[in-house]
Amino acid sequence: MTEPLLKVENLRIELALRSGQAPVIDDLSLELHAGETLSFVGESGCGKSMTALAIMGLLPEGVGSVASGRILFDGRDMAQMSDEELRGIRGNEISMIFQEPMTSLNPVYSVGEQIAEVLRRHKGMNKAQAWTRATELLDAVRIPNAAARVSDYPHQMSGGQRQRVMIAIALACSPKILIADEPTTALDVTVQAQIFDLLRDLGRETGTAIILITHDMGAVAEMADRMVVMYAGRKAEDGPVRPVIDHPRHPYTKGLISCVPHLLAELTEERPDLTEVAGIVPSLGSFGADACLFASRCDLADDRCRSQRPPEVAFGDQHSACWKADQL
Amino acid sequence: MTALLDVKNLSIRFPVKRSWGRSSWLYAVDDVSFEVKRGETLAIVGESGSGKTTAALGVARLVHASGGTVNLDGQDFLSLEPEDLRQARAKVQVIFQDPYSSLNPRLRAEAIVREPMDSIGTLPVSERPARVAELFEQVGLRPEQMKLFPHQFSGGQRQRIGIARALSTNPELIICDEAVSALDVAVQAQILNLLRRLQRDLGLTYLFISHDLGVVQHMSDHIAVMYMGKIVEYADRLSLFNNPKHPYTKALLSAVPSVDQKRKVERLLIPGDPPNPLDPPKGCRFASRCPFVENACRAAQPPLDEIAPQHKVACIKASH
């Protein structure tokens, strides 16, 4: 196999709390290969966005920091880079789009100026070149009549169009990695379908690898090649999407899939109650414990689960951090 | 069986200021009719701006309807005088989307749940504390949590408080306005199961507003699909999901990503955005985005025709 584009090794991110340091990300390892789509899945507060911010070098200063582990991009450790070096990578090599297309754009600049700014800053283009390229990019993200819309302001666009502008900005420098943090949560389902199609096509055309952060298993099944299920700052399970969804090896993954009422190929009269995953994600204070943090919500949990952190077990390409993985 | 809720020709409009001091009306809900049988769930689905929430709030008289009638349990709900209305409100309660902003942060949980009883006066004062305790148990909250304030609860628990509050007046109809949209999937499952259990135990009728078609599929008996203030399709659950007729419904369903690999529907892409609601097209409102559009569609609005029992479609191409 070729060398991965991005390699995260035993990453630990600590967050300063009043009561001390809590590991919001604990011993996380993952790989992202060129051209693939990797999905991070889990409930709120499980560390999906925190991992993305760490990869971008955007951890909130003074609050969160990389305590140990490495984030290797092109063989260089991003966790050790200076701000200057990171600026060379952010936007150029790795870029990110966020959940809220409303607040991620500057309301007082036209969308063209905001795309052009990236090109002038990172690519050293002059004003005219950048403006022309901005129009091309708007066209590439399928905004109709791009030549006219390029001088529009964000408030003149719909939510879906704004997210397209964000994608145009993110792709302006042809990055190797695009991180999309819940890019469609604020959008209607038909618009979500358009954005997903766009991301998939752009990924295919440009070879950009995509990290898609989501809580929607359906979106994972449709968009991603591989997935990482995160729970309480740790990797619960990872592997290729189809095997993981068809035969999850971690009770949390299983719960995430079965607790959602899905649209199936053929609906029947039958509607059993949803499988519940009782309780909620534990609070940050207990994140470091030497135990399975899912134990309190798990039907299978026994004393070992509550007193020893489970190691990762491999089932082919699929890995699960569960003491009972072989029973699932 | 007669319908508990019978809504006829409901219209709700809002004044909108335009430039140069002109103003015009935005019809958020335009001549909408539907009924809900006792003990059943009608879901209204549609995208943002379709008018689904406004229609539901109009039914509860939380926004003013400019036309139409709402018949609730044999009473003309929209023409009730203040005192009768106050009494009738006991029969209709709402569970709101946001469990954070829909609870008064200065009240203890027990006071929040008790408030509708106090203002409508459905129970003698002496019996209210016991009723609050009973409601807490019904929605799966512990008695000692009655003294806590909203910020001390998680999102799911807050939504349970909102449900207990809605139940406090023994309502017949509960309007669930995106009641689980703000919750994480695991918590969402807990609340959906609770809502279904309460419906079975108490014989409740739900008007269920949601944009999540998976959730709607699980919760509803009938579904009304709204687009730009109009119902474009109305059907029972199996007909709507297994045999949708309106192009908009088809597009909506095909846009939902699914874990079921067998559900490989050809994606029906609808380009662009809905037209300006201040200036709706004369003909079918979906015509500008419809892949099957023809000239006749732009000429006049298609009526909501019954094409099969319990299945109505407003599309001239679907009805024959």
Q: What is the SS3 assignment for chain A?
A: CCCCCEEEEEEEEEEEECCEEEEEEEEEEEEECCCCEEEEECCCCCCHHHHHHHHHCCCCCCCEEEEEEEEEECCEEHHHCCHHHHHHHECCCEEEECCCCCCCCCCCCCHHHHHHHHHHHHHCCCHHHHHHHHHHHHHHCCCCCHHHHCCCCHHHCCHHHHHHHHHHHHHCCCCCEEEEECCCCCCCHHHHHHHHHHHHHHHHHHCCEEEEEECCHHHHHHHCCEEEEEECCEEEEEEEHHHHHHCCCCHHHHHHHHCCCCCCCCCCCCCCCCCCCCCCCCCHHHCCCCCCCCHHHCCCCCHHHHHCCCCCEEECCEEECCCCHHHC
Give the pLDDT band of residue B132 (cuts 50, 70, 90): very high
**A280 in contact with B at a CB cutoff of 8 Å?**
yes
Residue B125's contacts (CB-CB under 8 Å, 6 or more residues apart) are none
C-alpha distances in angstroms, B48 versus A302, B284, B285? 46, 19, 15
Q: Tell which of B47, B259, B289, B290 to mutate to test the A interface (max A CBs under 10 Å).
A: B259
| Contact yes or no for B156 and A280 at CB 8 A | yes
Sign of the Cα pseudo-torsion (A240, A229, A193, B53, in order): positive
A155 burial type by CB count under 10 A (0-12 exposed, 13-18 middle, 19+ buried): exposed
Please provide the CATH number assigned to the domain covering A6-93+207-327.
Answer: 3.40.50.300
* Across A192-210, average pLDDT: 91
Please state, in angstroms and rounded to a whole number, the distance separating the CA atoms of residues A284 and B110.
29
Distance separating the N- and C-terminal Cα atoms of chain B: 30
Size of interface A-B (CB pairs under 8 A): 124
According to DSSP, the residues that pair with B181 across neighbouring strands are none
Nearest to A260 among B214, B219, B255 (CB): B214
Q: What's the pLDDT tens digit per position in A164-184?
A: 999 999 999 899 999 999 998
Distance separating the N- and C-terminal Cα atoms of chain A: 29
Give the pLDDT band of residue A264 (cuts 50, 70, 90): confident
Q: Are A198 and A184 in contact (CB under 8 A)?
A: no
Q: Are B11 and B68 in contact (CB under 8 A)?
A: yes
Residue of B nearest to A252 (CA): B186
Tell me which chain B residues have a C-beta less than 8 angstroms from the C-beta of A241: none
The pLDDT of residue A63: 82
Q: Are B11 and B27 in contact (CB under 8 A)?
A: yes
Residue A264's contacts (CB-CB under 8 Å, 6 or more residues apart) are B258, B260, B262, B263
The pLDDT of residue A20: 81
Q: Within a 10 A sphere around the Cβ of A88, how many other Cβ atoms?
A: 12
User: What is the nearest CA distance from B153 to chain A, expressed in angstroms?
Assistant: 11
Tell me which chain B residues have a C-beta less than 8 angstroms from the C-beta of A263: 213-214, 217, 241, 253, 256, 258, 260, 263
Element housing B164 (H / E)? helix B155-167
Please state, in angstroms and rounded to a whole number, the distance separating the CA atoms of residues B41 and B293.
32
Judged by CB atoms within 8 Å, which residues 68-107 of A form the interface with B? Answer: none
Tell me which chain A residues have a C-beta less than 8 angstroms from the C-beta of B252: 189-190
> Which residue, chain included where needed, has tokens 């940050």?
A284
Q: What are phi and psi of B19, to 5 degrees?
A: -65, 160
| Contact yes or no for B192 and A221 at CB 8 A | no
Nearest to A275 among B189, B215, B264 (CB): B189
| Contact yes or no for B254 and A193 at CB 8 A | yes
| Contact yes or no for B186 and A276 at CB 8 A | yes
Please state, in angstroms and rounded to a whole number, the distance separating the CA atoms of residues A255 and B229.
37
Domain ranges across chain B: 3-91+171-313
**A262 in contact with B at a CB cutoff of 8 Å?**
yes
Q: What are phi and psi of A242, to 5 degrees?
A: -60, -50
CATH of B3-91+171-313, one of 1.20.140.10, 3.40.50.300, 3.40.50.720, 1.10.10.10: 3.40.50.300
Q: Tell which of A198, A260, A269 to mutate to test the B interface (max B CBs under 10 Å).
A: A260
Give the pLDDT band of residue B1 (cuts 50, 70, 90): low
Tell me which chain A residues have a C-beta less than 8 angstroms from the C-beta of B191: none
B126 burial type by CB count under 10 A (0-12 exposed, 13-18 middle, 19+ buried): exposed
The pLDDT of residue A1 is above 70: no
**A1 in contact with B at a CB cutoff of 8 Å?**
no
The pLDDT of residue A301: 93
Please state, in angstroms and rounded to a whole number, the distance separating the CA atoms of residues A6 and A27.
16
* Across A201-205, average pLDDT: 89
| Contact yes or no for B259 and A257 at CB 8 A | yes
> Which residue, chain included where needed, has tokens 């006049």?
B300
What integer best gives the mean pLDDT of chain B?
Answer: 92
Q: What's the pLDDT tens digit per position in B138-180?
A: 999 999 999 999 999 999 999 999 999 999 999 999 999 999 9
Q: What is the pTM of this model?
A: 0.90
| Contact yes or no for B263 and A264 at CB 8 A | yes
Q: Tell which of A102, A143, A274, A283 to mutate to test the B interface (max B CBs under 10 Å).
A: A274
Domain ranges across chain A: 6-93+207-327
Q: What is the SS3 assignment for B201? A: helix
| Contact yes or no for B253 and A263 at CB 8 A | yes
Please state, in angstroms and rounded to a whole number, the distance separating the CA atoms of residues B179 and B198.
14
What integer best gives the mean pLDDT of chain A?
Answer: 91
| Contact yes or no for B257 and A222 at CB 8 A | yes
Give the pLDDT band of residue A112 (cuts 50, 70, 90): very high
| Contact yes or no for A274 and B215 at CB 8 A | no
Residue of A nearest to B260 (CA): A264
Assembly ipTM: 0.86
| Contact yes or no for B273 and A263 at CB 8 A | no
Q: Within a 10 A sphere around the Cβ of B228, how many other Cβ atoms?
A: 23
The pLDDT of residue B99: 86
* Across B106-111, average pLDDT: 96
Residue A77's contacts (CB-CB under 8 Å, 6 or more residues apart) are A70, A71
Tell me which chain A residues have a C-beta less than 8 angstroms from the C-beta of B188: 259-260
Cα B195 → chain centroid: 14
Q: What's the pLDDT tens digit per position in A223-261?
A: 999 999 999 999 999 999 999 999 999 999 999 999 999
Give the pLDDT band of residue B278 (cuts 50, 70, 90): confident
Please state, in angstroms and rounded to a whole number, the distance separating the CA atoms of residues B59 and B53.
10
The pLDDT of residue B320 is above 80: no
Residue of B nearest to A215 (CA): B185
C-alpha distances in angstroms, A96 versus A226, A232, B166? 19, 23, 42
Give the pLDDT band of residue B222 (cuts 50, 70, 90): very high
Residue of B nearest to A246 (CA): B259
